Amino acid sequence: MELAPRTARPVDLPLLVAIEESADGMFGPLGIEFPAGPTVIETMIEKGGGEIVVAGDPPLGFAAVQELDGAVHLEQIAVHADRVRQGIGALLLREVLERARRAGAPGVSLLTFQDVPWNAPWYAKHGFEVLPAERWGPGLRGHWDDEVAAGLHDLGPRVVMWAPLGQGGDA
């Protein structure tokens, strides 16, 4: 199966909710049960304006990004639970970083769980660092506040992370 990352096509979109739900199920053993409501990908699709990159045809994983505070914001990477630990998430993250670099973005931001091994520690291995609150723009602050209001922060400590993009250098 070809895994080359590509922009999602309309035919891919209905498949992405199942991928996200499968990935979210991996948090259950850690005591993290996400609140009921639309998934991140459903919200992104409904709002539009972002970009969704998939790996696989049909997709096995996706990355959803949007512009925020003059940079690229990674809303989510999700890989179907049956396909984790096969490099699909890293492939998607590299594609997001490369697309952001080509677009001239100063960096990529994200919000994630601090202590979940495939969240903040994984992103740290890929060049992301915790971004102190005094460096957040209004968009990041709004995302943080929305997460607090939705109860996401009640599930475990969250952090904002940032990967700066240099001229042709690694994040």
Q: Which domains does the chain have, with CATH numbers?
A: 6-164 (3.40.630.30)
**The token pair that represents 139 in the structure block:** 């968009």
pTM for this model (two decimals): 0.92
E runs forming strands in the chain? 6-7, 51-55, 61-68, 71-79, 107-113, 129-130, 158-164
> In whole numbers, what is the pLDDT of the chain averaged over residues?
92
In tens, the pLDDT along 46-82 reads 888 799 999 999 999 999 999 999 999 999 999 999 9
Q: How confident is the model at residue 167 (pLDDT cuts 50, 70, 90)?
A: low
In tens, the pLDDT along 121-142 reads 999 999 999 999 999 999 999 9
Question: What phi and psi values does residue 76 have, to the nearest 5 degrees?
Answer: -170, 145
The neighbour count for residue 49, using CB atoms within 10 Å, is: 7
State mean pLDDT over 86-93: 96
pLDDT at position 1:
59
End-to-end CA distance of the chain: 28
